[in-house]
Structure 1
Amino acid sequence: MSEELQDRVCTPCRGGIPPLARAEAEAMLSRVPGWELADEASCLVRRYEFGDFAEALAFVQRLGAVAEEQGHHPDIAFGWGWATVSWQTKKIRGLHENDFIMAARTDALLAGRR
């Protein structure tokens, strides 16, 4: 059985490698339901809905802790009852397997698995 994405750890990316091709990113997208490719398949984006500002803020804080632990950081926008998370490997200006790992870890936060 293959290891679930949310159980994997990010590998350091120092740049100098190409980002995933669109076809590769589209193939991996099926492993993170609810996420979308954006900016010509250079990033993953998902919007989450919450009951109020405090719930959105708590989610952002938990996600920030996971991002620090993994050394891979998203772009996050949030407000009253919502948060939008975007993953991209900035050193390669595109997607890497790490982004899909972190998207799965982001979802796991809401499912109580992290």
Structure 2
Amino acid sequence: MTALTEKSCTDLPKGTPALKADELATLKAQIDPAWQVDETVLTRRYETKNFAKALMLVNGVGYLAEAQGHHPDIKLGWGYAEVSFTTHSVGGLSENDFICAAKLDAMGLAG
């Protein structure tokens, strides 16, 4: 099995099915346990020491998102950043979401 960090996001046309529960469980086991999974969104909250560090973290997330062509929703505040991935074209989660989560884990962005 190829590690998620070695994969790249792919274009998923509308109508592609979202991941099923067993697929979600398999992929969840390959990312940091700090990521929270529900049926449609993959979310992680990063705690930082101040606003500037949270902003730097968000910039790192943005760099990855642009490189992968897969963009999360981001909440930014003093001492935290929250990153949420979903794949709108499939109406839920896809492997792309987990690829980005794994790549963020590998970047060591924790604040």
Task: Give the distance between the partners of 2:107 and 2:57, measured in 1 at CA.
Answer: 8
- Normalised by the size of structure 2, how large is the TM-score? 0.89
Please name the residue that 2:26 is paired with: 27
Please name the residue that 1:13 is paired with: 12
Residue pair 1:43, 1:87 contacting (<8 A) in 2 also: yes
Please name the residue that 1:36 is paired with: 36
Task: Give the distance between the partners of 1:55 and 1:4, measured in 2 at CA.
Answer: 29
The one-letter code of the counterpart of 1:93 is G
SS in 2 for 1:83: strand
* Matched residue count: 109
Task: Give the distance between the partners of 2:60 and 2:109, measured in 1 at CA.
Answer: 13
Task: Give the distance between the partners of 2:76 and 2:22, measured in 1 at CA.
Answer: 30
Alignment pair present for 1:101 and 2:84? no
Alignment pair present for 1:77 and 2:72? no
Task: Give the distance between the partners of 1:68 and 1:13, measured in 2 at CA.
Answer: 16
Please name the residue that 1:54 is paired with: 52
Q: Deviations over 1:45-77 (max 9, x none)?
A: 111111110010011011111101110000110
SS in 2 for 1:76: strand
* CA RMSD between the two structures: 1.6
Residue pair 1:20, 1:96 contacting (<8 A) in 2 also: yes
Residue pair 2:16, 2:89 contacting (<8 A) in 1 also: no
Shift in Å at residue 42 of structure 1?
1.0
| Structure 1 unaligned residues grouped into runs of 5+ | none
The one-letter code of the counterpart of 1:27 is T
Residue pair 1:63, 1:109 contacting (<8 A) in 2 also: no
Q: Deviations over 1:18-56 (max 9, x none)?
A: 100122112211111221113xx1111111111110010
